[in-house]
Amino acid sequence: MSRVAPLLGPLLFRPLRRDRLRFALTVAGIAVGVATMAAILLANASVLASFSATVDVVAGKAGLTVLPDGPGIPEETLERLAWLRARGVTVVPAVVATAALKGGNGDVVEVLGIDPVTDPAVRDYRFTSRLDAEETTLGRLFAVFQRNSVLVPAPLAERLGLTEGSELGVFAGGAVRRLRVAGILRLEGAARAAAGSVVFADIATAQELFAREGFLDRIDLVVPGDLDEAQRSALEESVRNSLPAGVTVGRPDRRTATVDRMVRSFRVNLTALGLIALLVGTYFVYSTLSISVLRRRSDIGTVRALGASSRSVFLVFLAEGAALGVLGSLLGLVLGAGMAKAALAAVGGTATDFYLPQAAPSLALEPRALAIAFLAGLLTSILSALAPALEAAHVDPASTFRHGSVEASRRRAVKPLAIAGAFLLLLGALATRPGPVGGLPLFGFAAVFLVVAGVSLLAPFAVTTVARHGDRLAVRLLGVEARIARANLTGSLSRTAVAVAALSMGISMMVAVAVMVGSFRATVVDWVSQTLKADLFVAPEGGRSQRALGRLPEEVVTLLERVPGVASVDPFLSFEATRDGVPFTVGSGRFALVAAHGDLPMADGSDTRAVLARALSQGEAVVSEPYAVKFGVRTGDLVTLPAVDGPATLRIAGVYRDYSNDRGTITIDRALFRRLFRMDGAVSLALRLDPAISPEEGRRRILSATRDRFALRVQTNASLRDAALALFDRTFAVTYALEAVAIAVAVLGVFSTLLALVLERRREIGLLRVLGASAARVSRAVRYEAAALSALGIALGVFAGAAMGWILIHVVNKQSFGWTIRTDVPWAFLAGALALVALATLAAAGRPARLAAATDAAAVLKEE
């Protein structure tokens, strides 16, 4: 290392001082990429942490938890587990539901129905008001719990202006239920569930509120603390053997795994997009260091001639890359922490929209996420520095004054690089064939990165080919400035090709995401118009939640059928289930109605009426596309449902398109559903009106008929379609932001490269002035060079983006979420966006062009 220190001054620090602007831009480029990664990782971590925290808090001191695979745990399961008390195990039942509050902001809360006698064994409760001298927490719990009473955490109570004895309005079962606040809890223990968005009632109250009579949602088992692992496992096995079908037992943390799986595809896709933004930024490092090596060749030759080893030179340039990485990553973390809040609003919003509406993710500056973002920025910077550092180490002192020989070696590499690039593209095509790995489209991601790498390696070939064949035409149309620009492009290939590659990378990401999102949106619009054909849609009032919360009683179904002007009512009934920890939905509808209107497009184009008619007559099921992909099933296969009386095996009559969620749904006819699961009512209803009745009139009549008894959300077809598309647009808002980041960084890269090239070519620019070129001509030549870089970057970027878009649609999305998306290119948007990029690149040439025009020919030619 002592041999490296003397080189740091001449080869690193002094040149850094001279090129301050360029290095500042490079640090900025890395910082933006790292900030994007950090923001996404922090948002993801915060979302997961808030979900996991709730899971952990609710699990409390439980050593084992009994959970349903189906609609619920029959209450008689408690009797089956009665033997556990003799073993010193406390059996703690609970009901869990989600409800919207009346008042406030329509907050959504978790409702935990507990047994006040046994629950304190698993979860802690601390009241804000002092206990009396002889009182215990258990006693207080038992005393305050009466029918229709709740305990509320202090922050929630404060937000809603509640005190002990206040009334709290809750939307449950389609009605407003008034509950009495029996106590206020400190934000500790069980009250921390859902970040304090939780209320506690007794089991009977909760069962009645949410029509869960006879069922529980979990049974926590507090096992003796002196059991070793073998004894614990044996106990678990014994419990498993005592349980009815459709109910499982396991360690409490498996629920976290379920939650994690629910949001994993979404998180991974977002992280992959963030990674591309980071890669665009780290192209900067390669470009900057390559330019540095070239500019300092004579200095390198001099120090080598004085006895410095090639290893020392290598370490100096590697250190430069590391220094850029450290500075850029540190700055990126600061920026990223600031951006994380905005990212969380987008990511968290989608997560709560689609997955867990009661969760209220708050930003957690998780050290692991920050460390990963920092290391990603640093490592990619060091990796990018490797090639230039190796080149610097191999500088031949004797050849340092032969400027063109370096570029000559670059030109010799054009063909091999092009062949390598074509090979990578071929590999990328092959990588689209294999299926998902662990449910994740890893080969799909690999294909995307292979396309990016392949097109990058083709950049030098593109530059030289276009330059060679376009020279004559360009000179004829644009004059000698075009030739000067062309000569500079090919003469500085090591720099210009890298700038083209970086720009193409940013553009390809933009094109790919625009094509993917545009196609997805077009598909969803088509699907919405095919499936949302009813005139009105009714659901329980759900406050801020976009999802339907809770279930309406059967009475509502009957009531709506009798409203004058209502031609038909199709109730949708469902519950959440799991299989081997993987969540899915079991739903139902009136197949006869759906078949009559053809509201369920089949994935393979089969006739909906025929499929549903068969399902209805044969007692079969239809499954959504995400379900079919996730569980690897197709038409004709068998599925097993966790029915109340034991597993029910049904044949799959067809696979239908469903873009409302990625969880996957098995749908059966309503009558069959009610028989298998002993549930009635509806989660939502689709109503068709008589032709003479307008949707607004229909809505008015329904609200009028139900106002006194039920709180319903009634949406017209038009407003539901608008809401669905608004939800879609909100979901992809963060990807639009990522596209903009990638483009901005790439355009910065073009600016930085042009600036470096102008500074490097001062002598040549001076010579042009000596030969009689005006300042305006010199400026134009720089702008033409920028235009050529822009055009080449856009062309390569569009080509790569089209390929990546295809992969995202047909491989990554398909394997992640199971959706079939038809390709629909948003031409107008792309044309506008690419025009903006071209303009931005030309604008980026402004300063370098002005610098070139202002060159003092006499001064630069005097410098030897």
Partner 1 sequence: MGARVVVESVRKAWGLVPEAGEGAVSEALAGVSFSLEPGDFVALLGPSGCGKSTLLNLLGALDRPTSGRVLVDGHDLALLSDAGRDLYRRRTAATVFQFFNLLPTMTSLENVALPLLLDGVPPAEADERAAAALGEVGLPEKSGAFPWQLSGGQMQRVAVARALVAKPSLLLADEPTGNLDSRSGARVLDLVSDLVAGRGVTIVLATHSTEAAARAARVLRLRDGLLEA
Cβ at position 809, least distance to partner 1 in Å: 42
* Selected binder of partner 1 within 61, 483, 579, 847 (CB under 8 A): 483
CA–CA dist 449, 456 (Å, integer): 10
User: CB under 8 A: which stretch of 110-118, 191-199, 483-491, 547-555 binds partner 1?
Assistant: 483-491
**Contact of 361 with 351, CB cutoff 8 Å:** yes
Residue 3 neighbours by CB distance under 10 Å: 12
* Selected binder of partner 1 within 17, 20, 433, 476 (CB under 8 A): 476
- What is the CA angle 164-165-166, rounded to 5? 95
Is residue 230 within the footprint of partner 1 (CB under 8 A)?
A: no
**Contact of 99 with 551, CB cutoff 8 Å:** no
* Selected binder of partner 1 within 45, 172, 343, 773 (CB under 8 A): 773
Is residue 857 within the footprint of partner 1 (CB under 8 A)?
A: yes
User: CB under 8 A: which stretch of 12-20, 90-98, 211-219, 473-481 binds partner 1?
Assistant: 473-481
Cβ at position 366, least distance to partner 1 in Å: 51
Six token digits for residue 177: 């239920």
Amino acid at 135: E
- Residue bearing tokens 């498993």: 240
Minimum CB distance to partner 1 smaller for 27 or for 485? 485
Cβ at position 859, least distance to partner 1 in Å: 9
Is residue 779 within the footprint of partner 1 (CB under 8 A)?
A: no
Is residue 777 within the footprint of partner 1 (CB under 8 A)?
A: yes
Is residue 480 within the footprint of partner 1 (CB under 8 A)?
A: yes
Is residue 858 within the footprint of partner 1 (CB under 8 A)?
A: yes
User: CB under 8 A: which stretch of 156-164, 330-338, 389-397, 768-776 binds partner 1?
Assistant: 768-776
Minimum CB distance to partner 1 smaller for 483 or for 678? 483
Is residue 771 within the footprint of partner 1 (CB under 8 A)?
A: yes
User: CB under 8 A: which stretch of 41-49, 470-478, 740-748, 843-851 binds partner 1?
Assistant: 470-478
Give me the torsion for CA of 388, 390, 395, 400, rounded to 10°.
0
Cβ at position 757, least distance to partner 1 in Å: 10
Is residue 708 within the footprint of partner 1 (CB under 8 A)?
A: no
Residues in region 390-449 near partner 1 by CB under 8 A: 402-405, 407-408
Minimum CB distance to partner 1 smaller for 391 or for 764? 764
Cβ at position 297, least distance to partner 1 in Å: 13
Cβ at position 482, least distance to partner 1 in Å: 10
Taking Cα atoms as reference points, which of 632, 635, 629 lies closest to residue 615?
Answer: 635
CA–CA dist 715, 627 (Å, integer): 28
Is residue 763 within the footprint of partner 1 (CB under 8 A)?
A: yes
Six token digits for residue 390: 């190796």
CA–CA dist 184, 103 (Å, integer): 18
Residues in region 2-41 near partner 1 by CB under 8 A: none
User: CB under 8 A: which stretch of 303-311, 374-382, 478-486, 723-731 binds partner 1?
Assistant: 478-486
Cβ at position 862, least distance to partner 1 in Å: 7
Residue 180, SS3 per DSSP: strand
Minimum CB distance to partner 1 smaller for 80 or for 763? 763
* Selected binder of partner 1 within 558, 618, 649, 774 (CB under 8 A): 774
Minimum CB distance to partner 1 smaller for 249 or for 498? 498
Minimum CB distance to partner 1 smaller for 692 or for 771? 771
Minimum CB distance to partner 1 smaller for 457 or for 493? 493
Q: Are strands 582-589 and 665-669 parallel, antiparallel or unpaired?
A: parallel
Number of residues that bind partner 1 (CB under 8 A): 35
Cβ at position 766, least distance to partner 1 in Å: 8
DSSP assignment of 340-373 equals: HHHHHHHHHHHHHHHT-TT--------HHHHHHH
Distance of CA 357 to the CA centre of its chain: 17
Is residue 488 within the footprint of partner 1 (CB under 8 A)?
A: yes
Residues in region 298-327 near partner 1 by CB under 8 A: none
**Contact of 181 with 70, CB cutoff 8 Å:** no
* Selected binder of partner 1 within 155, 301, 470, 479 (CB under 8 A): 479
Is residue 764 within the footprint of partner 1 (CB under 8 A)?
A: yes
* Selected binder of partner 1 within 117, 430, 770, 854 (CB under 8 A): 770
Q: Burial of 311 by CB count in 10 Å (0-12 exposed, 13-18 middle, 19+ buried)?
A: exposed
Q: How far is CA 852 from CA 461, 763, 765, 770, 782, in A?
A: 27, 10, 7, 14, 8
Taking Cα atoms as reference points, which of 806, 804, 812, 738 lies closest to residue 452?
Answer: 804
Is residue 521 within the footprint of partner 1 (CB under 8 A)?
A: no
* Selected binder of partner 1 within 691, 772, 827, 828 (CB under 8 A): 772
Cβ at position 400, least distance to partner 1 in Å: 12
Is residue 475 within the footprint of partner 1 (CB under 8 A)?
A: yes
Is residue 709 within the footprint of partner 1 (CB under 8 A)?
A: no
Is residue 472 within the footprint of partner 1 (CB under 8 A)?
A: yes
Minimum CB distance to partner 1 smaller for 433 or for 862? 862
Phi-psi region of 645 (alpha: psi -120 to 50; beta: other; left: phi over 0): alpha
Minimum CB distance to partner 1 smaller for 234 or for 776? 776
Output phi, psi for 138, to 5 deg: -60, -45
Output phi, psi for 863, to 5 deg: -75, 125
CA–CA dist 483, 781 (Å, integer): 8
User: CB under 8 A: which stretch of 50-58, 73-81, 490-498, 608-616 binds partner 1?
Assistant: 490-498
Is residue 491 within the footprint of partner 1 (CB under 8 A)?
A: yes
Instruction: Say how many CA atoms lie within 13 Å of 680 toward its Cβ.
Output: 8
Minimum CB distance to partner 1 smaller for 303 or for 757? 757
User: CB under 8 A: which stretch of 129-137, 521-529, 596-604, 854-862 binds partner 1?
Assistant: 854-862
Cβ at position 388, least distance to partner 1 in Å: 20
Amino acid at 224: P
Residue 62, SS3 per DSSP: coil
Cβ at position 786, least distance to partner 1 in Å: 16
**Contact of 519 with 821, CB cutoff 8 Å:** yes
CA–CA dist 71, 450 (Å, integer): 45
DSSP assignment of 484-524 equals: HHHHHHHHTHHHHHHHHHHHHHHHHHHHHHHHHHHHHHHHH
Is residue 862 within the footprint of partner 1 (CB under 8 A)?
A: yes
Q: Burial of 864 by CB count in 10 Å (0-12 exposed, 13-18 middle, 19+ buried)?
A: exposed
Taking Cα atoms as reference points, which of 463, 457, 485, 495 lies closest to residue 294?
Answer: 495
Cβ at position 491, least distance to partner 1 in Å: 2
Phi-psi region of 237 (alpha: psi -120 to 50; beta: other; left: phi over 0): alpha
Minimum CB distance to partner 1 smaller for 634 or for 850? 850
CA–CA dist 779, 786 (Å, integer): 11
Residues 6+ apart with CB under 8 A from 86: none
- Helix, strand, coil % in the chain, rounded to nearest 5: 60, 15, 25
Residues found near partner 1 in the complex (CB under 8 A): 402-405, 407-408, 472, 475-476, 479-480, 483-484, 487-488, 490-492, 763-764, 767-775, 777, 857-858, 861-862, 864
